[in-house]
Amino acid sequence: HDKGYERMTIEDVLAKVQMSKGALYHYFGSKQALLEGIVDAMTEGATPPLEAVVADPSLDAIAKLHAYFGASAAWKADNPAAVSILMTLWRDENALFRQKLAKESMRTSVPMLEAVIRQGCDEGVF
């Protein structure tokens, strides 16, 4: 939103998405819950292809790293609207959103990359 997350009100959201207050509160009890829902939806959409790469037993660690970042780039290319939203929400006035998204990204990506790095150490390539 143009105001940024901190200054955005639920009424601003309702006007933008053309939804009733009752419907919004049915799914999201607060502005914080809405923020968490946005972050969760983006994470849920981007994570499965990355998990598939990490779980692929036919790939060595180097191939997994290439495929992991390739899958990430492919998701961005296939979801330009989501990327545009992310770029808008990443502005300084949206520090809370940025912090939440970064935390969730770390929660999901660190274990996957750690597994690939461990595999690479076991293979003697790292």
pLDDT at 121: 98
Average pLDDT of the segment spanning 26-37: 82
pLDDT at 80: 87
pLDDT at 1: 52
Q: Look at 4 and 18; give whichever has higher pLDDT.
A: 18
pLDDT tens for each residue of 67-119? 999 999 999 999 887 887 777 777 777 787 788 888 988 999 999 999 999 99
pLDDT at 20: 86
Long-range contact pairs involving 38-46 (C-beta distance under 8 Å, separation at least 24): 38/89, 38/97, 39/97, 39/100, 39/101, 39/104, 40/104, 42/82, 42/86, 42/101, 43/104, 43/105, 43/108, 45/75, 45/79, 45/82, 46/72, 46/75, 46/79
Choose among 110, 120, 86: nearest CA to 100: 86
Q: Look at 37 and 63; give whichever has higher pLDDT.
A: 63
Instruction: Return mean pLDDT, the chain.
Output: 87
